[in-house]
Amino acid sequence: MKLWLLYLLLLKATCTTFAGLASLPVLRSDLVINHHWLTDQQLNTAVVVTRTTPGPAGLYIVSVGYLVGRVPGAIIAWLAMITPALLVIPLLKFAGRKAQHPRTKGLLQAIVLSSAGLLVASAFPLAREAATEPFTIGLLIVCIAVLLTRKVESVWVVLCAAVIELAASSLNLAR
Amino acid sequence: MNRPSLPQLAWIFFRRGNFTFGGGTATIAVLDQEVIESRKLVTREQAVLSFGLARLTPGTNLLAYCTALGWLTRGPLGACVALSAVSIPCSVLAIVLTVLYDSWLRKPLVATAMQGAIVAAIAVMFATGWTLIRPLRANTSAIKILFFSTGACIAALAGMPPIRVLLLAVLLGFAWPAEGRAS
């Protein structure tokens, strides 16, 4: 696994999406499906780790980088995570007014909406693998409902789900 | 406007960026309170422009927003300091926790709890789809929302690579301008 290739693949994921977790489908396509450097289980672990820590949602990429290439991989992932942020500087300097043009805004709307669709699409196979029995399927549905209808931070949902799974397992409700 | 020293700038972004739960939106809210109202480092108009341009910047909005604020307050050095202060500490923490999770997962109790946590993380992915769409509802037609979000989802499920879906979205989005006049 070449670090420069990892950087380019992670950069491709971060540069083609406009929100933290939205890069997940592109990243999964390259690292899990095409190059087999990561498994879906590891990708889920990276998301879990960073949903229980402070910081931006896109931080999961650093965890992915570590899982793929240990500390050098994590450093490369950090670089890939911060590189696109530097693009705001030329935008600030030169593009201010053009950024509000309807075509520019239309383009951004299309990318954000498509990213939402891609995120949902990439969550389906992960859900198929993780929620394999009635209890975990029910837990998934309840977690989604809570996140959509209540102003609850995801860290609490993740921690509660972990505790519920432990309790269910001890009561033989879940495997 | 006040001009902070680089260590002061680093301290602001270190505290707000690495001790706020709830993702980018929550962090931007607490940053605004400190940077605009408490310390008066930038005007609200500058912050609003920075936020809008950060949304236009690929990648994590929070990081672009912090870079923009750093640039506005202390130029290139300020941008580097802000970006580093908001991203390095939480990245180190993420690495440490990833290492710990790796070893903790060998313990049966932790492995069991992790299954529940993974289910919740997947729920976060589904919910994030709606979180991305929600701010656009006010100024985007329902047809456009349905067309792009559902179309992308179906295309991806049918096997189209994500990058191709996004490129197609760029072309179609450019051809379908947002409602309202250019300012």
pLDDT tens, A166-175? 898 888 776 5
Q: What is the pLDDT of residues A53-88, one digit of tens each?
A: 778 878 999 999 999 999 999 999 999 999 999 999
pLDDT value at residue B181: 47
For the segment A88-112, the average pLDDT, to the nearest whole number, is 78
Residue B103 pLDDT greater than 70, yes or no = yes
pLDDT value at residue A145: 93
Between A101 and A43, whose confidence is greater? Answer: A43
pLDDT value at residue B126: 86
pLDDT value at residue A175: 58
* Whether A44 contacts A126, CB under 8 Å: yes
pLDDT value at residue B182: 44
Is the Cβ pair A18, B61 closer than 8 Å? yes
Measure the CA angle with vertex B34, ends A81 and B92; round to 5°. 30
For the segment B32-44, the average pLDDT, to the nearest whole number, is 84
Which of B20, B132, B140 has the CB atom closest to A115's CB atom? B132
Residue B91 pLDDT greater than 80, yes or no = yes
Whose tokens are 């300020």? That residue is B78
* Whether B40 contacts B2, CB under 8 Å: yes
* Whether B118 contacts B138, CB under 8 Å: no
Q: Does A24 touch chain B (CB under 8 A)?
A: yes
Find the range with the poorest average confidence among A10-19, B6-15, B29-38, B169-178: B29-38
Buried b (16+ CB within 10 A) or exposed e, A30-54: bbbeeeebbebebbbbbbbbbbbbb
Whose tokens are 């070449």? That residue is A2
> Could you tell me the CA-to-CA distances from A167 to A135, B16, B37, B85 in Å, in that order?
12, 35, 46, 39
For the segment B36-49, the average pLDDT, to the nearest whole number, is 83
pLDDT value at residue B3: 85
pLDDT value at residue B183: 40
Q: Does B64 touch chain A (CB under 8 A)?
A: yes
Residues 6+ apart with CB under 8 A from A109: B136, B140, B144, B148, B173, B178
Mutate which: A108, A118, A148, A153, vs B, most B CBs within 10 A: A118
Q: What is the mean pLDDT of chain B?
A: 85
Is the Cβ pair A136, B115 closer than 8 Å? yes
Is the Cβ pair B129, A49 closer than 8 Å? no
